[in-house]
Homo-oligomer: A and B are copies of this chain.
């Protein structure tokens, strides 16, 4: 049986797994990535991972990387949270080191691919996927494929929703990420409560809102207003069959879903809304599965 090595490269961890053609994980390992921020350490770790799985006949390797990728060349433009990787030719380097075909993409694209092939959007050809976390990662599936260009593109988090908004991590101002990022939610809550220090986790604002606390509810109302208005624009552009929300902040999905749907339905054009589903991401290991499926689909594009 053909198997693929899928690598989910996060800011604080590396998850790797052997995945079969059906997207099933056969074997899985997790490392801390804090000691692997430097490229030589990272490369040698990936080699070790391959050796760990030497009993499997790996056909190709897929990697989801936390940053902007030049998908034509398989190099890294930059990783927002890991300095030192600018213009690193990851595909070329790893292909040589591993003696296997290697394919690289942005992590949000990889998550989205996994969810439409094997998760919450199974069988869908048009999907919008968001990871709601510290930042807002995004991807669009259109005609069954990831929307990207020469770059990994579909950076949905960096669409402007307020022309006079605050500075964003991307260097621009007023991007939707500045209204949905977990730190922004915590800070908004701190201000509303006139606290000296914000809670450490968004889950706390979720729990307090469920308990009926006014300020916590306001945070989720505002979050839903901005996210809903933003998503309405995406619905008007893409007429997606499904919107899939993942990431830590989606833990509050049951709370914000009705608020979000109300804003979305009031703002988007009705033909584009027809049949639309809004769901939570489903897979636990979307990063591993998606990376392996990327490798499979790139290696066998007509399978």
Contact between chains at B153 and A237 (CB < 8 Å): yes
Residues 118-152 of chain A, each 1 if its beta carbon lies under 8 Å from chain B, else 0: 00000000100000000000001011010111110
Contacts of A232 in B (CB 8 A): 158, 160, 172
Judged by a CB distance under 8 angstroms, whether A55 is at the interface is no
Judged by a CB distance under 8 angstroms, whether A267 is at the interface is yes
- Size range of the chain A interface in the assembly: 35 or more
Judged by a CB distance under 8 angstroms, whether A91 is at the interface is no
Q: Which of A145, A230, A268, A269 has the most CB of B within 10 A?
A: A269
Contacts of A175 in B (CB 8 A): 233
Judged by a CB distance under 8 angstroms, whether A163 is at the interface is yes
Copies in the assembly, this chain: 2
Judged by a CB distance under 8 angstroms, whether A161 is at the interface is yes
**Alpha-carbon separation in the docked complex, A158 to B239 (Å):** 12
Judged by a CB distance under 8 angstroms, whether A68 is at the interface is yes
**Alpha-carbon separation in the docked complex, A13 to B142 (Å):** 34
Q: Which of A147, A156, A237, A266 has the most CB of B within 10 A?
A: A237
**Alpha-carbon separation in the docked complex, A286 to B105 (Å):** 36
Judged by a CB distance under 8 angstroms, whether A225 is at the interface is yes
The 22 listed contacts between A and B (C-beta, < 8 Å) are A68-B269, A68-B271, A126-B149, A140-B237, A143-B143, A147-B238, A148-B239, A149-B241, A151-B274, A153-B236, A153-B238, A154-B238, A155-B237, A158-B269, A159-B159, A159-B233, A159-B234, A159-B236, A161-B161, A170-B236, A172-B232, A172-B267
